[in-house]
Amino acid sequence: MARNEPQRLRATIQAVKELILDQGLQPGDPLPTEAQLVDLLDVSRGNLREAVRTLVALDILEVRHGTGTFVGQMSLRPLVEGLGFRGVVLPGEDFQSLRQIVEVRSGLDHALADAVVERMDDAVAVELKALCDAMAEHSERNEAFAAEDRAFHLALASMLGNELYSELVAAFWDVHTRLAPRLGVPTPRDIADTVAAHRAMLDAAVSRDLEGYRAAVGNHYAPLLRVLDSTSTTG
C-alpha cells in the first residue's frame, strides 16, 4: 500500500462531504454514480470505495445495492455499535462498562426532570399510564417488557422537544439492553420494583413534584445497579 494512503483517503472522505454540502444534499438524496464521482473528485475507484465504506459506517452515506449511494440518516447507530462492542471487549472489573452505561442512562433521565415535571400533560400521562399497566401485566406473567420500557423512557425524553436528546436516550437504552445478556447479567430479581418505579416517576411528574420525580428516577435505576453489585460479589 502507498505510504500516503491515509492522507489520500482522508482527502477523499472530505471531498465527498464537501460535495454533499455544496450540492445541498439531504438524508435520502442520491449521490452521483461511482463513475461520476471518480471523475468529479478526481480520485481512484479504490480510494472512493474506501471513503464510501467509511462514510457508510458513520451513517453519513447509505448504499442500496442495485440502486446506488444515498445520503444516510446520520443517526447514532455508530455510537450504539461502537459502545456495544466496547462493552464486550472491555467489560472491566465488576461489569464496569455496563455500570457506566446505566449511569449515563440515569444521568440523562435525571437531567430531564425539570422539563418532565413542568410539561407533563394529560395526553402524555395517559400514554405513560397505559405503558405502566402493560408492564405490570407482563411482570405478573413473568414476561419481559422491553418494548414498553423503551417507549416509556422515549415518551419522557420527547417532552424536552430535542430530537438529539431522544436519540441519545434511545441509544443508551439499546446498548444497555443488548449488552446485559451478552455479559451474562441476570434480570434483576426485584423486577416488580422496576415496574413500581416507572409508576412512581409518572405519579411524581403528574403531581409536579420535582424532588419526588428525582427520587423516583434514582429508585428506577437502583435495581439495575444492584444486580451488577450482587453479580460481582457472587461471581
Chain positions contacting its own copies, by CB under 8 A: 1, 3, 5-6, 17, 20-21, 25-27, 49-50, 53-60, 63, 65-66, 71, 74, 76, 78-79, 81-83, 85-86, 88-90, 97, 99-101, 103-104, 106-108, 110-112, 160, 162-165, 168
Q: What distance in Å separates the CA atoms of residue 233 and residue 114, rounded to the nearest whole number? A: 36
| Spatial distance between the Cα atoms of 172 and 79, rounded to a whole number of angstroms | 9
Q: Tell the smallest beta-carbon distance from residue 104 to its own copies (Å).
A: 6
Q: How many angstroms separate the CA atoms of 30 and 13, rounded?
A: 17
- The amino acid that residue 4 corresponds to is N
Shortest spacing between CB 113 and its own copies, in angstroms: 9
115 or 125: CB nearest its own copies: 115
Report the residue number, 40 or 57, with the smaller CB distance to its own copies. Answer: 57
Type of residue numbered 188? P
Q: How far apart are CB 162 and its own copies at their closest, in Å?
A: 5
DSSP 8-class letter at 68: E
Can you tell me the distance from the alpha carbon of 46 to that of 196, in angstroms, rounded to the nearest whole number? Answer: 56
Smallest gap, in angstroms, from Cβ of residue 145 to its own copies? 25
Is the Cβ–Cβ distance between 132 and 198 less than 8 Å?
A: yes
195/227 with CB nearer its own copies? 227
Cell digits of residue 86? 466496547
46's grid cell: 479504490
From the CB of 55, what's the least distance to its own copies, in Å?
8
Nearer to its own copies, 71 or 135 (CB): 71
Q: Which is nearer to its own copies, 102 or 120 (CB)?
A: 102
Contact of 51 with 16, CB cutoff 8 Å: yes
